[in-house]
Chain A
Amino acid sequence: NAGVTQTPKFQVLKTGQSMTLQCAQDMNHNSMYWYRQDPGMGLRLIYYSASEGTTDKGEVPNGYNVSRLNKREFSLRLESAAPSQTSVYFCASSERHGYQPQHFGDGTRLSIL
């Protein structure tokens, strides 16, 4: 019973490099989310996909792009990584968008030098 799976778990990048974080869920959920977690700031929403075929910006979208590949998969891309994007990234999914609990993956720890 995998739930939400994120890959990779750890990554170190150099400034300017690009990277795609992968996320897949096996719960047949319609909605998927990307968050970043930084010390003292809780979780901040980067992008979300309320349903397959749609994506929308969250609170902190600058420097990121997303792709909802199919109902199961939602990827996050850093086109030109910056040190300010060093963070822990979490993917989450919910049965539908709004007023639903979200189920989280174990995170990707990303360091940008």
Chain B
Amino acid sequence: AQSVTQPDIHITVSEGASLELRCNYSYGATPYLFWYVQSPGQGLQLLLKYFSGDTLVQGIKGFEAEFKRSQSSFNLRKPSVHWSDAAEYFCAVSSNTGKLIFGQGTTLQVKP
């Protein structure tokens, strides 16, 4: 069965530091992968998506993610974190039934 694992429930980084959020997926075929961000009291906003092609994808707000088939990973990165990046981040895979399967989320706290 398809699944998504985000190993880190909570991460704290200092403003200006680099960020990497981990995502591992279980999927038999070529996965369609997404990263979403959820600010407090808001819905989920799509950051970026991977369907095929270049394994390094660029998204909004300065985020990027790298697809590594050999590691079944799709980690999200940002070179320099801003206080406004504090939010919850969800990785998701589109399953062969057409549904999105979400990880449990990683909460990012940014220290001044």
Q: Does B42 contact A (CB under 8 A)?
A: yes
Mind listing 19 A-B residue pairs with CB under 8 Å?
A33-B100, A40-B9, A40-B104, A42-B104, A43-B44, A43-B100, A45-B99, A45-B100, A50-B98, A97-B98, A98-B94, A98-B98, A101-B34, A103-B46, A104-B43, A105-B43, A106-B41, A106-B43, A107-B41
Q: Contacts A50-B98, A99-B94; is A42 near B43 (CB within 8 Å)?
A: no
Q: Contacts A104-B45, A107-B43; is A99 near B98 (CB within 8 Å)?
A: yes
A90: B residues at CB distance < 8 A: 43-44
Q: Contacts A101-B34, A106-B43; is A42 near B100 (CB within 8 Å)?
A: no
- Most A CB contacts (10 A, CB to CB) among B41, B42, B99 go to B99
Q: Does A41 contact B (CB under 8 A)?
A: yes
A99 touches B51 (CB 8 A): yes
A14 to B93 alpha-carbon distance, docked (Å) = 36
Chain B nearest CB from A40 CB (Å) reads: 6
Q: Does A62 contact B (CB under 8 A)?
A: no
A48 touches B99 (CB 8 A): yes
What per-residue 1/0 map shows which CB atoms of B7-51 lie under 8 Å from chain A?
Answer: 001000000000000000000000010101000011111100101
A107 to B103 alpha-carbon distance, docked (Å) = 19
What per-residue 1/0 map shows which CB atoms of B68-112 lie under 8 Å from chain A?
Answer: 000000000000000000000010001001111011110000000
Chain B nearest CB from A85 CB (Å) reads: 19
| Secondary structure class of chain A's binding surface, majority of residues | loop
Interface size range of chain A in the complex: 20 to 34
A42 touches B103 (CB 8 A): yes
Q: Does A86 contact B (CB under 8 A)?
A: no
B90 touches A43 (CB 8 A): yes
- Most B CB contacts (10 A, CB to CB) among A48, A92, A100, A105 go to A100
A49 to B102 alpha-carbon distance, docked (Å) = 18
Chain B nearest CB from A91 CB (Å) reads: 9
B98 touches A42 (CB 8 A): no
B32: A residues at CB distance < 8 A: 99
Chain A nearest CB from B5 CB (Å) reads: 11
